[in-house]
Structure 1
Amino acid sequence: MNNKVSDKDKWKKIVGIMVFVSLLLSIVYATVKIIYAPAGTSSEMYEKVRSDYVLMLLQCILGIVVMAIPSIVEKKASIDIPNNMEIMYFIFLYCAIYLGEVRNFYYLIPNWDTILHAFSGAMLGALGFSLVSFLNDSEHTHIDLSPFFVALFAFCFALASGAVWEIYEFLADEILATNMQKYMLADGTILVGHAALMDTMEDFIVDSLSSLAVTIAGYYSIKNKKPQN
């Protein structure tokens, strides 16, 4: 048992270091590129301009900051987040920021953004379950939530997290003139109306469906474990 735990800790550290180094090197790369990259909009899909590297730099810095969240939560709230979930979290950051922004997978791989939102929705739903289940089973709290309310919390937690991310994308677009919400085409054409909302609403829908699938599975898992009166 101790060997299994130590192996998981070791893999968590290895994955964490790999992601951290990748993001740190990307920060240096993006900073240099910002100095020499042309301003304005790109005339070709894969040609990056200054605003693209600003977004890359912002994403990499944010990635390093949020990597510390699981450790902070565990220390401050005395919650033991499963190592497997932390490893998946680090892998998601690597896929979303390093592969997506730095290696340009958002353009090279069809539906890369949709795949990541499906993954994040499911992961956040599972995290919501872990948090409320910890409180539900803790000896220091006096709550006994039904499986339905545990599932409802996990689902709402995932949706709220997705909403915070969309707010972050909107603010980044407004303040730093990026294009995270894909309201502008590669040639600089500004989308309006329904077309401008497509990316954001698609993200919300994918987040909702993936988190709903996880919370339904979690609901039946908890329900089957509860003693029947």
Structure 2
Amino acid sequence: MGNYAVKKKRNLKEKIGLLLFLILIICIIYVAAMIIISPTEAESDAEYVRVKSDYVLSLLQCALGLIVMFIPSIIEKKISIDIPDSMEILYFTFLFSAIVLGEVRDFYYVIPYWDKILHAFSAGMLASLGFVLVAIFKKTERLKYYLSPLYIALFSFCFALTIGVVWEIYEYLADGLLSLNMQKYALADGTKLIGREALADTMDDLIVDTLGALVITILGYFSLKKQEDRNQNSN
């Protein structure tokens, strides 16, 4: 029964991964066509319409999504570890929500706090991944030293925040090199924000990352602590 459940979840993961791959390919074709036919700048007296730079951002995100969706399988092959299928399904779900819904379908502007929801989700997912990686390395005996629940929780917390910071650096560089608006320093109509408002999106993202990772690491810490106490009492 256990093997059947594992196979069923693995098949589900593979189907979701294939579906995401096909959707991203379709999105790339669609966005590339929109780059050709969309205006370079919106008319000042017209309602907001997406311009070429908006679709360039979508194309960049879709192309990046095609690359990063294979990161789990590459890690599994290079390091010879098995990332849980449920974790990969969450990862594919996040990519779909962030790229297809967020960028291509414009959910970042249409759905209030969509960006913050995804940041909280990704931070929690990455913190969980930190716990999973430590557990995998302990199981394969690659970690020969005792790691306390507090140390593992701290590692998971820092792991999630580091990825969040790297993402903000990527957004900053992309905005500077390609004249995009990933850090939302401008409104949807192109109006530039100034002062503290221009920094708000980046700082809000980092704060949400911190809170999302903190919740999961606290839960993970108490779970590991409870498991450790149970093992000591049984011995």
TM-score (norm 2): 0.93
Aligned residue for 1:179?
181
2:30 pairs with 1:29: yes
Q: How do residues 59-208 of structure 1 correspond to structure 2 at under 5 angstroms?
A: 59-208=61-210
- 1:46 to partner: Cα distance: 5.0
- 1:159 to partner: Cα distance: 0.2
Task: Tell me if structure 1 keeps the 8 A contact 2:42–2:49.
Answer: no
Task: Tell me if structure 2 keeps the 8 A contact 1:46–1:107.
Answer: no
- 1:163 to partner: Cα distance: 0.4
Task: Tell me if structure 1 keeps the 8 A contact 2:130–2:156.
Answer: yes
**Structure 1 consecutive aligned stretches of length 4 or more whose deviation exceeds 3 Å:** 41-46
- 1:8 to partner: Cα distance: 0.4
Q: Which 5+ residue runs of structure 2 have no aligned equivalent?
A: none
Task: Tell me if structure 1 keeps the 8 A contact 2:130–2:160.
Answer: yes
Sort the Cα spacing of 1:46 and 1:112 in 2 relative to 1 into closer, same or farther, 3 A: farther
Task: Tell me if structure 1 keeps the 8 A contact 2:42–2:48.
Answer: no
Q: Which amino acid aligns with 1:31?
A: A
Bigger relative CO (Cα 8 Å, ≥ 6 apart): 1
Q: Which amino acid aligns with 1:175?
A: L
Cα-to-partner distance string for 1:6-38 (whole Å, 9 max, x where unaligned): 100111011111111111111111111111111
Task: Tell me if structure 2 keeps the 8 A contact 1:42–1:187.
Answer: no
- 1:45 to partner: Cα distance: 6.9
Task: Tell me if structure 2 keeps the 8 A contact 1:133–1:150.
Answer: no
Q: Which amino acid aligns with 1:75?
A: K
For residues 99 and 43 of structure 2, what CA distance do their matches in structure 1 show?
21
- 1:40 to partner: Cα distance: 2.6
Aligned residue for 2:58?
56
Aligned residue for 2:12?
11
Cα-to-partner distance string for 1:184-226 (whole Å, 9 max, x where unaligned): 1223222122101100010001111011000011111111111
- 1:143 to partner: Cα distance: 1.7
Sort the Cα spacing of 1:46 and 1:187 in 2 relative to 1 into closer, same or farther, 3 A: closer
Aligned-residue RMSD, C-alpha:
1.5
Q: Which 5+ residue runs of structure 1 have no aligned equivalent?
A: none
- 1:134 to partner: Cα distance: 1.9
Count of residue pairs brought into register by the alignment: 229
Q: Which amino acid aligns with 2:6?
A: V
Query: Counterpart of 1:228 in 2: which secondary structure?
Result: helix
